Amino acid sequence: MESDKRLDHTVGPAAADAASVAISPAADGLGRDETIDRRFHALTSRTRRDIVALVWERELPAGSIAAEFDLSAATISEHLSVLREAGLVAMTRAGTSRRYRAVPQAFTGLHPALEAPTKWLPADDIPERELVEVETRPMVVASVTLPVGPEQTFAAFTDEALYSRWLEVPVRLREGQFAATMEWGTEIRGRYEVLAPPHLIAIAWDFDDENVPVPGRAMKGYIRVSPDPAGSRVTIHQLVDSPEQAQFMEAAWGVVLGRLRTNLAAVLQSDATSRPRAPRSKRSE
């Protein structure tokens, strides 16, 4: 195997101990310490890190992986063997083909011990920074795991009829424009700014009670769909401007993702037309 340059920093005992606290179960019946050592060793290689990145969210045959590197197929095969022995990638057979995919849970706790100590230290002497407006804003993150694949989950947000059925209120999608009315009278309006099926939707949206929201203050949000052993996982990243907005968005996306989790699988298995929820007051008091 060709020699990869090792990292400029070393993994100290304290860092290794911190990583081992949350480390995933040992691979191939190895002891915990040996599993950790193998994973640290496997990830000192630049090439192996790049291989893992290639197969982090998709399954690829060895030939497709080798095609991304200026290395021999035999060398790539050796790298894959090291990653497999460390439990960092899994291999499945499809006929005569071997396909590889990362095992994300195996990386739990590894990053603090393997990242360079200067990672979060900005470079100095970069005057270009003065040309840019930069701000830090809070964000609400909500997520849910679904028993259906990413393609079906993505369609749940882009197919008008399907969206209406699982959300249980009428939804209208027209040329990227989105509209819905919740059963308590909240009017939602927005647009899909980016559609990258089946993994990402960027949205700009607003709402108001009892009336259509006044244009001009749309909020930015991102719907990310990723593969999951159970099917798929939806993660929302919603930008907010205040604690009040954050509290509301936690509840709002909780409703949306809760209904998605509760209804989508059943809706996909049935052709029956579901009735919208009956109108009700927003607050019980």
**pLDDT surpassing 60 at residue 24:** no
**pLDDT surpassing 70 at residue 28:** no
The per-residue pLDDT for 30 is: 62
- The mean pLDDT value for 63-73 works out to 96
Assign 253 a pLDDT band (cuts: 50, 70, 90).
very high
Chain mean pLDDT for the chain: 89
Give the count of domains, the chain: 2
Any domain includes 283:
no
**CATH number, position 85:** 1.10.10.10
Asked if residue 102 and residue 207 are part of one domain, the reply reads no
The per-residue pLDDT for 19 is: 39
The residues near 265 (Cβ < 8 Å, ≥ 6 apart) are 146, 147, 148
Asked if residue 108 and residue 22 are part of one domain, the reply reads yes
Q: Which amino acid is at 186?
A: T
Asked if residue 110 and residue 153 are part of one domain, the reply reads no
Which of 114, 129, 148 corresponds to the end of one domain?
A: 114
- The mean pLDDT value for 16-44 works out to 67
The per-residue pLDDT for 273 is: 66
pLDDT digits (tens, 9 = 90+) for 101-159: 999 999 999 999 999 999 999 999 999 999 999 999 999 999 999 999 999 999 999 99
Strand partners, 209: 186
Higher pLDDT, 204 or 270: 204
The per-residue pLDDT for 18 is: 39
Any domain includes 124:
no
Percentage of residues of the chain with pLDDT beyond 90: 79
Asked if residue 153 and residue 101 are part of one domain, the reply reads no
**CATH number, position 201:** 3.30.530.20
Percentage of residues of the chain with pLDDT beyond 70: 88
Any domain includes 261:
yes
**pLDDT surpassing 70 at residue 26:** no
Asked if residue 145 and residue 254 are part of one domain, the reply reads yes
Residue 187's domain spans which residues?
139-268
The per-residue pLDDT for 281 is: 85
- The mean pLDDT value for 189-215 works out to 96
Any domain includes 159:
yes
pLDDT digits (tens, 9 = 90+) for 261-275: 999 999 999 876 677
Asked if residue 110 and residue 144 are part of one domain, the reply reads no
d(CA 267, CA 276): 13
Assign 94 a pLDDT band (cuts: 50, 70, 90).
confident
Asked if residue 258 and residue 166 are part of one domain, the reply reads yes
